[in-house]
Amino acid sequence: MQSLRVVCYLNQFFGQIGGEDKAGVGPRVFPGAVGAARAVQQALGDAGSVVATVVCGDNHIAEHPETALVKLLDLVAAEAPDLLVAGPAFLAGRYGVACAALCAAAQALLGVPAVTGMHAENPAVGLYRRRVYIVPTGADAARMLDEARRLVALGLKLARREPIGAPAAEGYFPRGITRNTVADANAAQRATAMLLDKLAGRRVASEVPLPDFPRIPAPPAVQDLRHATIALVTDGGLVPKGNPDGIEALAATRYGAYGIEGQRGLDPGQYDNVHRGYDTTFVKQDPHRLVPVDVAREMEREGAIGKLHETVYSTTGVATTLAHSERMGREIAAQLRAARVDAVILTST
Amino acid sequence: MTPVAVMVGANRIVSAAGIIHPLGNADLSAEDEKALRRRIVERALMALQTEVVRPTVFSADNPASAARGDQPPAP
């Protein structure tokens, strides 16, 4: 097989120019494998040759990203490489971002396959994993050669334009790509096999990772209901006629705060419902079927509860993302807290 | 829908009168509907006054007093 031309990218430290004191040095190139690029050469063996090592100071590229990248791309392009290997950057944030940014640019602008590596907690992973193949590494260079081997293994496949398998199999951070494949058994057979494995105590991996819901400690019970302020909240899509806050019918990102001061109930003529997940005919006829203001007011008058809070909060709970749901919940809770509300009755459908 | 609430981790869950009218029932007279609504809201208030340690469903078959029986004895 043809020996591949590989260019390595390193920062000032791994390129043996200096430490933090040299983090401001600009882009430069050295022939062959310099510094940590030697581990990449060792990992490549006969499969390829590190023809040049491109180096830049972490501060320089962080402070002048556009100009530094342009210059670095020129240096890389001049070598006509089959593969760019950047880093590994371990936990170094500026270095990780530089590696990933250069890989992304080399792929997009030069059409050069690229691979980098860093620790899962490097901020560059979150920023770039969808665009760049990033191999997970340890936190530091303790096992540089091992890390280089894993980068090179994936890099060679990329350079040879071989099909790249799933993240777990090939060893890179998931890129958010879903690929349909045809399995060799049908779903009933696969499910039965999984069940038999489970019953036999064999390791079973779910094909679909299930969301993990953190345990929410239950707030202590209301001690004195007769003096408590109770608020009503709903995700059933109640809105004032005209939906002034533009609450979405699906995948809501907004909620509304609607005053009921002085109102004994909810007048159906003043309200509407935008929820698309259930038949809203009945709650439109009588909004109390969703938000029990009438009953709560009576209980307030009777003294069964101290006070009905003057604001009803409402959003649409269909296909609402967990992230937005949690955010809206926190925001509403903060407002209720500030208003010294003691407890909430939330009607969901 | 209460199993979903349990799965997600809501702690005090009150089962209501149906998806399309959680706090009502179009088959009942207005008066009976309001009485039903009142009963469910009262169950909700009972739930708010009940100590719980895990997601707990307060239903017509499992009102607050029975639900309290599920909890570990107070220290």
Residue A11 and residue A219: Cα distance in Å, rounded? 51
User: Residue B34 and residue A294: Cβ atoms within 8 Å?
Assistant: yes
Say if B60 falls within a structural domain.
no
Give pLDDT, residue B70: 46
Residues of chain B found within 8 Å of residue A265, distances taken between Cβ atoms: none
CA distance B69 to chain A (A): 15
Is the Cβ pair A295, B37 closer than 8 Å? yes
Q: Which residue has the tokens 């009588």?
A: A286
Assign A265 to helix, strand or coil.
coil
Domain count, chain B: 1
Option in B7, B19, B49 nearest A349 (CB): B19
- C-beta atoms of B41 and A218 within 8 A: no
Average pLDDT over residues A24-32: 96
Residue B14 domain-assigned (yes or no):
yes
Cβ neighbours of A286 (radius 10 Å): 21
Does residue B24 lie within any of the structural domains?
Answer: yes
Chain B residues in contact with A288 by the CB 8 A cut-off are: 23-24, 34, 37
Q: Which residues of A touch B43 (CB under 8 A)?
A: none
Contacts with B19 from chain A: Cβ below 8 Å: 278, 349
Residue B60: the pLDDT is 76
Ordered alpha helix ranges (H), chain A: 37-44, 58-63, 65-77, 93-105, 123-128, 144-159, 167-170, 187-199, 281-285, 293-302, 322-338
* CA A340/CA B62 separation, integer angstroms: 31
Beta strands per DSSP E along chain B: 12-14, 56-58
**Domain covering A4-170 in this structure, CATH number:** 3.40.50.2300
Note whether A83 and A115 are within 8 A (CB): yes
Q: Are A37 and A53 in contact (CB under 8 A)?
A: yes
Domain extent listing, chain A: 4-170, 225-347
Cβ neighbours of residue A343 closer than 8 Å, sequence gap 6 or more = A222, A228, A229, A230, A231, B48
Cα A147 from Cα A153, distance rounded (Å) = 10
The model's pTM is 0.58
Half-sphere exposure for A104 (CA within 13 Å, toward CB): 17
Proportion of chain A above pLDDT 90, given as a percent: 85
pLDDT > 70 in chain A, percent: 100
CB nearest B21 (choices: A289, A343, A345): A289
Q: Do B23 and A222 touch (CB under 8 A)?
A: no
Q: In whole angstroms, how far apart are CA A349 and each of A275, A313, A328?
A: 10, 15, 17
By residue count, chain A amounts to 349
Q: In the prediction, which pLDDT does A181 show?
A: 84
Q: What is the pLDDT of residues A103-142, one digit of tens each?
A: 999 999 999 999 999 999 888 998 899 999 999 999 989 9
Nearest Cβ partner for A292 among B5, B37, B49: B37
Instruction: Write the DSSP symbol of residue A26.
Output: -
Per-residue pLDDT at B63: 62
Number of A:B CB contacts under 8 A?
91
Task: Tell me the pLDDT tens digit for each residue of B34-75.
Answer: 999 999 999 999 999 999 999 999 987 766 554 554 444 444
- pLDDT of residue A152 exceeding 80, the answer is yes
Calculate the CA dihedral of residues A166, A168, A172, A176 and round it to 10 degrees: 50
Structural domain that includes position B6: 2-52
ipTM for the predicted complex: 0.85
Residue A161 in contact with residue A101, Cβ under 8 Å? no
- Distance, in angstroms, between B21 CA and closest chain A CA? 5
Contacts of A282 in chain B (CB under 8 A): 20-21, 24, 26
